[in-house]
Each structure stands twice: as C-alpha cells, then as structure tokens.
Chain A
Amino acid sequence: MNVEEIGKFFGAFLILTGGIASVISVFGLIRLPDVYTRSHAATKSSTLAVLLSLSGAFLYIFANEQFISVRLLLGIVFVFLTAPVAGHLIVRAAYRSKVKLADISTEDELYDVLHSEKKEKEETDV
C-alpha cells in the first residue's frame, strides 16, 4: 500500500464513520422523549457526522487528485461554527414558547428565573 492508497482508505473510513454517526443521530431523534433531548442528539452527533464526512471527502480528494479543496475546509469551519448556534436558537425558541419538558425530568431552574422576572414586570406595570 502506498501513501495514496492509505489516504484514500482513511478518507473512505472517515466517510463511513460519519454515516454511522448520522444514523445514531437519527436514532436519538426518534427515541428521545422531548424537544430538548432530541435537539441535543440532533445538534451534537449530526454536526460530528457532517464534519467526519467532509473531512473524509477532503482527505479522499487530496489523496486521489492531489487537490486541496479549500471549499471543503471552509465548509468544515462553517458547519462547526454555525450548527451549535442553530441548535441553541431552536431550543431557546422552544423554551420561550413554553414547550413542556419530558416527564422524567426533575429540575427546571430557568423556569423560575424567567417566570419571576415576568411576574415582577407585571407588578411594576400595575
């Protein structure tokens, strides 16, 4: 096996790992009870899946054609930056529109903070 073959093998291996990670992410999306845990599964592991697939494609193209694809590198940086922020915003919007937590959850500290602020504001308005 020469260097080119090894690079191609690792690229294909990374893409396979990314595919497995994305399947696991989908299982989390189906199986978990409420929107917060689902978003936890969707954000973290599918970001990892996309990053692995893109790195694999980058490595494969580099080994196969000796071409450094700057667009793929930029895509990796971009997804790594934006996917967590998107997950954060979705969960935040869900929490502020009062989506219920799963029944098994025991604590909700943020609820008191948001709720009491609202109460104080209503009192000052009156």
Chain B
Amino acid sequence: MKTNDVILQTTTKLVFFIIFLFSIHIFFAGHYTPGGGFVGGLLTTGAIILLLLAFDLKTVQKALPFNFTIMTGIGLLLALGTASGSIFFNVPFFTHAFDDFTLPLFGVTSLHTAMIFDAGVFLVVVGSAITIIQSIGGDS
C-alpha cells in the first residue's frame, strides 16, 4: 500500500527554508551574539535531515547535488588557508586581519578573516554530519 505523506512533505518544504535561513543568521551573528560556525552548521544539517526524513535519500541527493565528503575537505582547506595566510604577512600563525568596509547595502561593516575560518568550520560540520547520516541511512 502506498503511504500518503502529503502533510509531512508540504510542511517540510516550508519549514526547511525557515531552519536554513535561521542557520545562516546564526552563522553571521556568531561574532557579536551567541552562534557561529558550529551551531549554524548543525542547524543546516538538521534542515537537511528533515528533508531526508520527509523524502528519500536519492531525492535529496538530486535536490542537493553536493559531494559532502569533498565539502568537508573544502572546509578544512578554508580553515587551514585562513590560518596559514597570516604567515605571508610576517605575523604569527592564526593572526586574523580585519578592517571596516563600506558596503552598498549594509553601510559600514567590519569584515574579519575569522569569518572565513568560521565558514570552514561550517562546511566541515555540515559535510561530516551529512556523510555520517547518509552512510548510516543508505542500504546499498
């Protein structure tokens, strides 16, 4: 008998975007308020897991065509690259640089290289968590 998942799937389609936008917000708010790369990454993972619960593995892989193992690698490279970039400017390893820029929509914003490190953490968390879930959930 074919099961009827209309309610779960429709709600998931709506709720996924709320969780995903909130994770982006948490990620960017990490410098001044609670949040950051790890929590944001876990929230994104939660949103993708909700998709996996409502649909099946193949559909989600088709909708989000990323190789999550490679995503982990890219995240590690970003973190390491940000940390080691400081060597070339004759300052200790992991020294971060920041400056105030005037962006068109946001006004004066201070941009840190620590944000790129956080983006690396985000990608590593999402990549490794989704890899774990996919390899546990897959039956092939």
Report A's interface with B, CB cutoff 8 A: 71, 74, 77-78, 81-82, 85, 88-89, 117-118, 121
Asked if B15 lies at the interface with its beta carbon under 8 angstroms from chain A, I say yes
B101 in contact (CB, < 8 A) = no
Complexed CA–CA distance, A71 and B1 (Å): 41
Nearest residue (CB) in A for B14 is A81
- Contact flags B1-37 to A (C-beta < 8 A → 1, else 0): 1000001100100110010001000000000000000
User: Helix, strand, loop or mixed for chain B's interface?
Assistant: helix
User: Is A121 in contact with B15, judged by CB distance below 8 angstroms?
Assistant: no
Say how far B40's CB is from chain A's closest CB, in angstroms.
14
CB distance from A23 to the nearest CB of B (A): 28
Judging by beta carbons under 8 Å apart, are B1 and A88 in contact? no
CB-CB nearest in chain B for A82: B15
Complexed CA–CA distance, A88 and B1 (Å): 19
Minimal beta-carbon separation of B11 from chain A (angstroms): 5
Chain A to chain B: the 9 pairs with minimum beta-carbon distance, closest first: A85-B11, A117-B1, A88-B7, A78-B18, A85-B7, A81-B15, A82-B15, A89-B8, A121-B1
Number of A-B contacts (CB under 8 A): 21
* Complex alpha-carbon distance, A77 and B14, angstroms: 11
Q: Among the listed B1, B7, B18, which residue makes an inter-chain contact with A77, where contact means beta carbons less than 8 Å apart? A: B18
**Could you show 17 A-B contacts with beta carbons less than 8 Å apart?**
A71-B22, A74-B18, A74-B22, A77-B18, A78-B15, A81-B18, A82-B11, A82-B15, A85-B7, A85-B8, A85-B11, A88-B7, A89-B7, A89-B8, A117-B1, A118-B1, A121-B1
A78 CB to closest chain B CB (Å) equals 6
Contact for B11 among A71, A81, A118, CB less than 8 A: A81
Given contacts A81-B11, A85-B11, 15 further A-B contacts (CB under 8 A): A71-B22, A74-B18, A74-B22, A77-B18, A78-B15, A78-B18, A81-B14, A81-B18, A82-B11, A82-B15, A85-B7, A85-B8, A89-B7, A117-B1, A118-B1
